[in-house]
Amino acid sequence: MNDTHAKPSGLSRRQFLKTSALVGGCAALATACRRAEDLSARAESGALSPEEFYELSKAENIVYTTCMNCNTGCGIKAKIVDGVMIKVDGNPYSPWTMTPHIRYAHSPAEAEIAKLDGAICPKGQAGIQTLYDPYRIRKVLKRVGKRGEGKWESISFEQAISEVVEGGRLFADVPGEESREVEGLSDICALRDPAVMARLRADAAMVANGEMTVAEFKRAHRAHLDKLIDPDHPDLGPKNNQLVFNWGRMKAGRSQFVQRFISNAFGTVNRIGHTTVCQGSLYFACRAMSEQYVNGQWTGGRKFYWQADLRNTDFVIFAGSNAFEGGYGPPLRTPKITNGLTERRFKFAVVDPRMGKLGGMAWRWVPATPGSETGLALAMIRWIIENERYDKAYLSAANKAAADAIGEPNWSGSSWLVKIGEDGPGDFLRVADLPEADRPEGDTDRFVVLRDGRIGAVDPNDTAEPVVGDLLVDTTIGGIPVKSSMQLLYESACEHSLSGWAEICGIRVRDITDLAREFTSHGKKAAADIHRGVSQHTNGYLAVAAWMSLNLLIGNIGWKGGMIESSTYNATGTGRGQPFPVNDMHPGRLGPFGVSIIRDRADYEKSTLFDGYPSKRPWYPIADSIFQEVIPSAGDAYPYSIKALILYMGAPNYSLPSGNELNDILTDTAKIPLFIANDITIGATSAYADYIFPDGTFYERWEFHGSHGSVSQKVQPVRTPVVTPLVDTCTVFGEEMSMSLESMMMAMAEKMELSGFGPDGFGNGMPFTHPDHFYLKMVANVAADGAPVPDADAREVDLLNRSRRHIAAHTFEESRWRKAVGEDWWKKVVYVLNRGGRFQDYPDTYRGEQLTNAYARLINLYCEKTARSRNSMTGKRYDGIPRHYPVLDCLGRELPDTESEYPLFLSTYRQSVQTKTRTNSAYWLLAVVPENAILMNRITAQDSGFKTGDEVIIKSATNPDGVWDLGGLGKRPVSGRIKVVEGMRPGVVTFSLGFGQWGNGAVDMRVDGDTLRGDRRRGRGINANAVMRVDPFLKNTALSDPIGASVVFYDTRVRLERVG
Amino acid sequence: MKTTATPDPVEATGRTPVEEAPPEPEQAPASCTERGCAAGEKPMGRKRFLAQVASMVGLSAVALPSLVRAGLEAVADGRTEESGAGFLKDGPEFEEDEAANIIIRMQRELRKAMRKPIEQRKWVMVIDLRKCTGCNACTISCIAENHLPGGVVYRPVMEEEIGTYPNVSLRSTPRPCMQCETAPCVPVCPVHATWIRPDGIIDMDYDQCIGCRYCMTACPYHARTFDFGYSYTEGTPEPDQPYEKVPSFEYGKRWKQQKGRSPTGNVRKCHFCTHKLDAGMLPSCVTSCIGYATYFGDANDPDSLVAELISRGNKIRLKEEMGTRPRVFYLI
């Protein structure tokens, strides 16, 4: 391997940069400048037309790709002069950045198309400074001090790979670690035989289900017991699981790449994302609502959520959803709102304790108390049901045939009957439960409705016989008390009177009735659009279910002006007619098994660890990607200890509520013996790693960003390298490539001789020796999905090459790209890449009054699968229907924090000029808002004697000193400055995310013996996550939603104290 | 009211009780727009802002014919008349759904306007305050497009809260150069480095500018800033990042950001991206506006979108009573 490749640079450097650990200046600038002068002279002499002079107008200087300075995934055009990306604008082919977007058939080689710019937000504009960031790393860094002490040396890629794979006394020079043997990845990857793994997996499942004893298992597999984490608990899986791969932001493409290496080649189940720190309960409540009943099983629930079709709706309630500044996302949602305000009859309400830019333009701002979101939705539901302002025909349709009969795209279980047991609503009533005499003929697994007193049997997917059911049923059938799903919702809504709900929400009854009346005054052209503000509470799942039930009541899902489910062209190749099923093209792939370190999608009761309630830490039978559980679970070694952690593009100790609790674990080499990070800078958490491998930014690599419910078209935005990556190169499988997450994994695979990579990585004669071999195949899949895209013409193929003429061959080489997909697909691949992805035309988005890509399946109002799962801490079943709860800890107890000691609620928000973690490197953004503030209402300020500019410390019951303890990086107060405003609910204070950083160049580091001075501009402002409420039972993890697993941002009581 | 584009210790959303004491006239919106209201400084409501604007007496602007002539000469380099330029050709055929896009419409209208002699064009910008969300996309896009160094901002966005809790709203106001028809900044220039082009844009010649800053003082909108040559990456481990070294395209020339060379040491201002207009493209603040709140076009074209918009009754111009006759209109 070779990492000596350095970019030519004519720029002088400061002394400490002899290390070359950081990314340097750009190639050939002197030449570029000479060329510029020449251009000017020719322009002035008239030898050059203005168009020729203005190089950013030319197609050959534009590469279409996809932004990731937040997770919205806007289409962008990177404009490049002399190999330097100097301007970013919106991609007019993308519905994200142009409203309406241009037809897909336009040629990007056309001069007028090249000149057409879409709109992209300030973070997207400032992405240039993410790419050209003075603090980017270009070589592998290895710590030379204790974890988190900020002392590094740059080492060769080859050495780094050898060390992490082979292990040994890797930190012998670090005091206290002289004799510490680190187990390398090769040893952790204990079980490599796919056949053996398959046998162990099958029998371990039998042990967990009680169909085989542990003794029998041990007898049967005595030759392989040494490969298990714990032979007495075979369901924990093989030792391979002791490698945990955790990420902060990863999209399709990289996701399949990581799956290939981590799961299919290395064989660990621990491939864990970050969903719960964003809006996990929103995803998992909607997954529960979208579970389908097939062959007697609940299956196929989608991890997604619906968002409003803002372009066509007449009324929207944004609840905890900041469409102008976040929430997938400003460039695509803002114009629909602002055009709606001036061009058509459109109004919107905002439910949020902070008014913000969105509330500031709203018809009604409803500053409900944090944590009361479920209550507000239930109050509206009560009013709507009592005033019969729901869509009775839609809700009564009990199966697909009934929906078809009335022209509805989907149907719900609103009329289905639920058995009421001693511990509340349980399973649905099934035909088998009926007295034999009343049993309709046919399948006994069907559900039951009542229609005018007569029993009807429901096969939800039946397309032949429409079944319609009564909505409000409370009766006894065959001695079994039953209620309809809708009846259960109504009873939940009747837990309080409207004035009772109003009191809980801290609003007027009029606010409830006005919202409910308006919401039910536009037919299906109204929507309740929710986001983090609803989901990041201890009752987040139920709050989401309540708000989505509101949408269900007016039957707006799948309708123009109603609610959208995103729709994407498949990149993974599993669809019909797609050429490259990349996951299956993996000879010798492993099938990993075992309980994950975060115990996701697993029942405590069905594990050999079951030992009564509470479990040591919570299990999450219906959630996954539980970010806040990864490191604390490693800390508590529950359900087992880990041996290595690979962290990619994540900053859990910064971004998680009470993230500071993680630092003790991260720095403990007994709990995390090997910690590898992959990052573009020394980040907030990678600063605590043993090794940091450099990665490319999103402008230097591949991904398939997918879509969100805010986009009504079928799409697949592609992310592709637009410049030569600024990091050093390395050689893997004999090929030169830039250092990146991919090359790190490929080199590990090469060193460990794992399956699925190398000269025959995709099968005989199909090499996987360069990341391009993987990603180009995925582009071909996108091109092939459904009706394939046209072939690019010769002019377009030429454009692809010319627009990438500045990119080094290790990153762009036409012959390599072409070979990766073959001649049959190449021109279609070019067609997709030249447009930055694949996007459905606007007129194809709607079919009459419905969405073309409408959600067209069952929607569960009562979620039986959820109601069958148990909370592993309390032993109680989860609620199947939305219900309001106060803030509770993991044992279901109310918190002791009193209003007298901690009088204020703490909340967070996002500004348009910062994302949650990654954009403190953008100096242009920092010029607009150099630091955030603690927003406080004037009334609160007057009561507490604060004024704008006062510096205060925030304190809470679990961080009574208001301190960030960063271990070796020191301690810092959780302090910031007050900003007094009108647009806040009194009693609530908030701060915007993304400030108060220590990562990404905000603090000093030592690299190769020299000081790498931090830039204090990058660390200004406050991040108050450290004071967020720690769960009193778990003690190292923030409060969490027991069902949807969202980690809680909005339920902490705090006190503010003046500094000094 | 405060400027969100100038560094300020505390972020935007200063609340603005209308009943509070009026700011000193000389501190009025202008001072806020330029420096950003310091923490604790009393911002003011939009109504008051407009009322004060109405009461202010501006400099009497004298359009010197010689300067106008100079401007004519400066642009009479044949570039805008060039018949072979791409913007003169018809663009691709757009379908009805695409033509509904105002960016496509305005770009077509721009092309049409560029076919005319420069003196027959009348560029105006229209900013719909009902649609501006204060996101600052325009601010940053402008910085990127024109390679603006630290401290130089052509298009800040001012933000103000109106009302008291719980009846509050927010208004954001972008402030480009107003490209006044009778521009107070032009006659005060001792070296004739700034003038009004025949199409209405206030032009600058960086090579002429001696950096005396009279024009900055004269501008009632504080639309001009001084280029001290600050680099955003100065003091970092790798100063002078590639994007900072690539020359900008302002005024159809290529300007390297370099100490001691123009435009460092000059006064700088918004120019409606004349270099983009010449190439048949809209200004960056227009295309980057995610709220579709900024419009641009030729007011002399009766069919243009901007001509339609400024014919309506809900338009205002800032400090109109000063006789500056801005070419930037606001819809309220």
Kindly tell me if the per-residue pLDDT of B69 is higher than 80. Answer: no
Residue A32: predicted pLDDT: 53
- Going by pLDDT thresholds of 50, 70 and 90, the confidence category of residue A2 is very low
Residue A42: predicted pLDDT: 72
Q: Answer whether A115 sits within 8 Å of B281, measured CB to CB.
A: yes
Tell me the chain A residues in contact with residue B85 when contact means C-beta distances shorter than 8 Å: 49-51
Residue A411: predicted pLDDT: 98
Q: Are B61 and B183 a contacting pair, CB within 8 Å?
A: yes
pLDDT, averaged across chain A: 95
Helix axis angle, A498-505 to A509-519, nearest 10°: 110
- Going by pLDDT thresholds of 50, 70 and 90, the confidence category of residue A36 is low
What's the whole-number mean pLDDT along residues A1032-1040? Answer: 98
Q: What is the pLDDT of residues A535-574, one digit of tens each?
A: 999 999 999 999 999 999 999 999 999 999 999 999 999 9
Kindly tell me if the per-residue pLDDT of B40 is higher than 60. Answer: no
Closest Cα to residue A251, out of A54, A78, A68?
A68
Residue A675: predicted pLDDT: 98
- Token representation of residue B325: 């006759």
Nearest CB to A86 within list B87, B95, B246: B246
Residue A1060: predicted pLDDT: 74
DSSP A748-815: HHHHHT-TT-BTTTTSTT--B-SHHHHHHHHHHHHHHSSSPPPPP-HHHHHHHHHTTTTS-TTT--HH
Q: Answer whether B144 sits within 8 Å of A980, measured CB to CB.
A: no
Residues listed for chain B? 332
Range of the domain at B295: 2-331
Kindly tell me if the per-residue pLDDT of B269 is higher than 90. Answer: yes
Kindly tell me if the per-residue pLDDT of A862 is higher than 70. Answer: yes
Lookup result for tokens 């050898």: A162
| Domains in chain A, CATH or no CATH each | 29-135+704-729+767-839 (no CATH), 140-274+588-694 (3.40.50.740), 307-564+855-868 (3.40.228.10), 904-1058 (2.40.40.20)
Question: Residue A1009's CB: how many other CB atoms inside 10 A?
Answer: 12
Give A149's DSSP letter.
S
- Chain B interface includes A14 (CB < 8 A): yes
Instruction: Report the alpha-carbon distance of residue A433 to residue A448 in Å, rounded.
Output: 9
- Chain B interface includes A823 (CB < 8 A): no
Lookup result for tokens 């199947």: A880
As a dihedral over the C-alpha atoms of residue A46, residue A52, residue A57, residue A58, rounded to 10 degrees, the angle is 170
Instruction: Report the alpha-carbon distance of residue A1025 to residue B63 in Å, rounded.
Output: 58
What's the whole-number mean pLDDT along residues B218-233? Answer: 96
- Going by pLDDT thresholds of 50, 70 and 90, the confidence category of residue A345 is confident
Residue A51: predicted pLDDT: 74
Instruction: Tell me the residue type at A156.
Output: S
What's the whole-number mean pLDDT along residues B71-100? Answer: 55
pLDDT, averaged across chain B: 79
CATH number for the domain spanning B283: value is 3.30.70.20
Sequence-ordered alpha helix ranges (H) in chain B: 29-35, 46-55, 65-75, 96-99, 102-114, 137-145, 214-218, 242-245, 274-278, 284-287, 305-309
Residue B73: predicted pLDDT: 35
- Chain B interface includes A12 (CB < 8 A): no
> Would you call A221 helix, strand, or coil by DSSP?
coil
Q: Among B46, B230, B246, B258, which would you mutate to test the A interface (most chain A Cβ atoms within 10 Å of its Cβ)?
A: B246
Kindly tell me if the per-residue pLDDT of A836 is higher than 60. Answer: yes
In Å, how far is B315's CA from the nearest CA of chain A?
Answer: 14
Does ipTM exceed 0.90?
yes
Q: Are B178 and B318 a contacting pair, CB within 8 Å?
A: yes
Q: What is the pLDDT of residues A138-194, one digit of tens each?
A: 999 999 999 999 999 999 999 999 999 999 999 999 999 999 999 999 999 999 999
Phi and psi angles of residue A371, each rounded to the nearest 5 degrees, phi first: 90, -5
> Would you call B186 helix, strand, or coil by DSSP?
coil
Kindly tell me if the per-residue pLDDT of B44 is higher than 60. Answer: no
3-state secondary structure A13-51: CCHHHHHCCECCCCCCHHHHHHHHHHHHHHHHCCCCCHH
Task: Calculate the CA B300 to chain-centre distance.
Answer: 20
Closest Cα to residue A221, out of A209, A237, A210?
A237
What's the whole-number mean pLDDT along residues A643-651? Answer: 98
User: Residue A408, exposed/middle/buried by CB under 10 A (0-12, 13-18, 19+)?
Assistant: buried
- Chain B interface includes A9 (CB < 8 A): no
Instruction: Report the alpha-carbon distance of residue A238 to residue A1029 in Å, rounded.
Output: 35
Residue A49: predicted pLDDT: 80
Q: What is the pLDDT of residues A933-953, one digit of tens each?
A: 999 999 999 999 999 999 999
Question: Residue A1025's CB: how many other CB atoms inside 10 A?
Answer: 26
In Å, how far is A1001's CA from the nearest CA of chain B?
Answer: 9
Residue A884: predicted pLDDT: 98
Largest CA distance in chain A: 98
- Going by pLDDT thresholds of 50, 70 and 90, the confidence category of residue B99 is confident
- Chain B interface includes A590 (CB < 8 A): no
Residue A52: predicted pLDDT: 80
Instruction: Report the alpha-carbon distance of residue B189 to residue B213 in Å, rounded.
Output: 8
Q: Answer whether B290 sits within 8 Å of A1012, measured CB to CB.
A: no
Give A262's DSSP letter.
I
Between CA B21 and CA B26, with CA B22 as vertex, the angle to 5 degrees is: 140
Q: What is the pLDDT of residues A294-307, one digit of tens each?
A: 999 999 999 999 99
Nearest C-alpha in B relative to A36: B254
- Chain A interface includes B250 (CB < 8 A): no
Q: Are A709 and A306 a contacting pair, CB within 8 Å?
A: yes
Q: Answer whether B136 sits within 8 Å of A43, measured CB to CB.
A: no
Kindly tell me if the per-residue pLDDT of A288 is higher than 50. Answer: yes
More confident residue, B255 or A30: B255
Instruction: Report the alpha-carbon distance of residue A512 to residue B255 in Å, rounded.
Output: 59
Instruction: Report the alpha-carbon distance of residue A3 to residue A19 in Å, rounded.
Output: 14
Kindly tell me if the per-residue pLDDT of B136 is higher than 60. Answer: yes
Nearest C-alpha in B relative to A981: B15
Percent of chain B whose predicted confidence (pLDDT) is above 70: 73
Q: Which residues contact A885 (CB under 8 A, 6 or more apart)?
A: A374, A538, A539, A542
Residues 38-77 of B with CB under 8 A from A: 39-40, 77
- Going by pLDDT thresholds of 50, 70 and 90, the confidence category of residue B260 is confident
Q: Beta partners for A526? A: A315
Nearest CB to B166 within list A46, A365, A923: A365
Domain total of chain B: 1
- Token representation of residue A1033: 């039972």
Q: Answer whether A939 sits within 8 Å of B238, measured CB to CB.
A: no
* Cα-based distances in Å from A729 to A137, A737, A801, B156: 12, 5, 22, 41
Question: Residue A730's CB: how many other CB atoms inside 10 A?
Answer: 30
Question: Residue A856's CB: how many other CB atoms inside 10 A?
Answer: 16
- Chain A interface includes B207 (CB < 8 A): no
Kindly tell me if the per-residue pLDDT of B1 is higher than 90. Answer: no
- Token representation of residue B112: 């049409």
Residue B90: predicted pLDDT: 60
Residue A34: predicted pLDDT: 59
DSSP A901-970: TS-EEEEEE--TT--SSTTTT-HHHHHH-SS--EEEEHHHHHHHT--TT-EEEEEETTBTT-EEE-GGG-
Closest Cα to residue A624, out of A652, A598, A642, A651?
A598
Q: Are A230 and A258 a contacting pair, CB within 8 Å?
A: no
In Å, how far is A718's CA from the nearest CA of chain B?
Answer: 21
- Chain B interface includes A406 (CB < 8 A): no
Between CA A529 and CA A539, with CA A534 as vertex, the angle to 5 degrees is: 140
